[in-house]
Amino acid sequence: MISLIMLIPGVVIPAVVGWLIIDLLEWDTSVIGRYEKWVMGFVFGMTFSMFCVFAGNVWLGIPLTLVGFAMIFAGLLVVLGAAWGIRRGRFMTSVKAGAPPGRPYIADVMHSTPRPMMIALAVMGGWVLIRLLAMAGDTAVTPTFFDDAMDNWNLRGKLFFLQEKFSLAFPWDPSPGVSSYPPTVPLSKTWLSTLAGGWHEGLVNMIHVVWFACLLALVYWTLRRMLSWEWSALGTIILASLPLELIHGMSPYADVFLSLHIFVGVSLLFHALKDRGHESQGVSRNAPTYLRLSAFAIALIPFTKNEGWALYFPVLAFLYAATLGWLVYRKTMTVRQVMMTAGFALLLAVIIAGPWIAFKFANGLAFGNAKGLDLNFRWQPGVFASVIVNTFLEGNWGLLMPLFFGLLIARWRSAFRSPLLLLSAFILIPYLGQLFLYHFTGLSTEAILQTGYARGLIHLMPVIVVLTVLLLHDVILGRVESGQRKVESGQ
């Protein structure tokens, strides 16, 4: 139990690092809410800190001991703190410009929410909360259960902790395939164990519960920027109630962790498209800020899971570039702003993603999901039926997927001819890409045996839920666009 308490400093210290990063990236325009900044700060801070721990160990020989971790965190806090101090001195006389979230575009949408609906929402939320707490408690006091945790995520963290250094080899296997996966999740467990002074199953697994809680909170705040708190809570409840999502959220796998980074990157990009706050002569001050933050999240993605680099980073880079193009076309940003933002994003990608990718090349590590890809394209029987079963006929996603696809078709104008296109494109490009690979390559076994297909959906699920809620709101109240127009016209 004492070990579990170490979760608090283990989370708070990286959260401070991340808070400073976000505050610096915002620079003079605040777009992230007070509490949201701590939550997002933990996400950014933990991953970026572990990147520094990895780099410090591999290239500077800083050991994975308490002293080593202290050196890294102290270094980060001093450097970021100094930069924050300089920035603060420069803007001391002026309050940061942008408004934190809390004033959604459509402020009055659900003010007349019927009482039975409110009760239903509260009951659903309570029922989900009971499950979350029960599963979190279970995770804290039971041993690791799932294969990949014992073969990869926890195993590597335990080895790093015991050996006090990063290593690609196992004592029984000089070149295990799982070493190609980024070490962020294992190193986070090494960090927690180092703090606790020993390996504790509950402690190292509970960090996943924290990440899942962060994901739920960030989904809420993302929706809150556009919808009332009731609709935002509905989205959060939907995500938490999906059975397979909940199991992943409570398990030491890296898929929810990856989806968290993806979601932050996509949602911030989406806000850059939609947010018209603090315009001056039509030019938004908020958009470049969102874009800087989004660039940071996207730059972290290759350091979360192999699929992050192989599948999602290219799609996000494309959508990022498309968003910049759109914003300059709509004169929401100036060409100079766009050039600066693009340059900054490129710099972040080179600084953060670059070293890990270079390390992988240098050590001959695989870039895919550790399974070879047979490029002899031919129809793979059995895949389609398996996809249908996993998507619609098992308990994985409840009734979400028919609702999602139904809304995508019924509200295609909103989904494909509004800023929601960004979310639709982000979901459909990787999803259809994966379906193609499953249906026409040797990766079909991942779908037929149901070992890989659902993981892909886990990565996309937070974005799917947000898009579904926005379309649902659109179809029921039909006021997303009109509300936007009101705001855009200054009402």
Q: Contact positions toward another protein, by CB under 8 A?
A: 120, 124, 127-128, 130-131, 134-135, 137-138, 141-148, 150-151, 154-155, 158-159, 162, 171-172, 199, 241, 243-244, 246-248, 251, 253, 389-390, 392-396, 398-399, 402-403, 450-451, 454-455, 472, 475-476
Distance (Å, whole) CA 108 – CA 227 = 9
Residue 454 CB, nearest distance to another protein (Å)?
A: 6
**CA angle, 484 then 289 then 343, to 5°:** 125
Closer by beta carbon to another protein, 89 or else 395: 395
Distance (Å, whole) CA 295 – CA 193 = 31
- According to DSSP, residue 370 is labeled S
Closer by beta carbon to another protein, 47 or else 193: 193
Residue 309 CB, nearest distance to another protein (Å)?
A: 22
Residue 40 DSSP SS3: helix
The answer to whether the beta carbons of residues 301 and 347 sit under 8 Å apart is no
Residue 283 DSSP SS3: strand
Residue 41's closest CA among 288, 230, 217, 272? 217
Closer by beta carbon to another protein, 196 or else 273: 196
Would you give the end-to-end CA distance of the chain in angstroms?
54
Residue 439 CB, nearest distance to another protein (Å)?
A: 19
Residue 246 DSSP SS3: helix
| Count of beta carbons in the 10 Å neighbourhood of residue 244 | 19
Distance (Å, whole) CA 160 – CA 201 = 15
Residue 476 CB, nearest distance to another protein (Å)?
A: 6
Looking only at the bridges linking them, the beta strands covering 283-284 and 279-280 are antiparallel
Residue 239 CB, nearest distance to another protein (Å)?
A: 12
Closer by beta carbon to another protein, 12 or else 120: 120
Closer by beta carbon to another protein, 65 or else 334: 65
Closer by beta carbon to another protein, 12 or else 388: 388
Closer by beta carbon to another protein, 237 or else 345: 237
Distance (Å, whole) CA 32 – CA 151 = 38
Residue 398 CB, nearest distance to another protein (Å)?
A: 5
Residue 214 CB, nearest distance to another protein (Å)?
A: 20
Instruction: Give the residue carrying structure tokens 């509970």.
Output: 206
Closer by beta carbon to another protein, 199 or else 296: 199
Instruction: Give the residue carrying structure tokens 């070490």.
Output: 183
Residue 142 CB, nearest distance to another protein (Å)?
A: 6
What residues contact residue 319 under an 8 Å CB cut-off, 6+ apart? 266, 269, 422, 425, 426
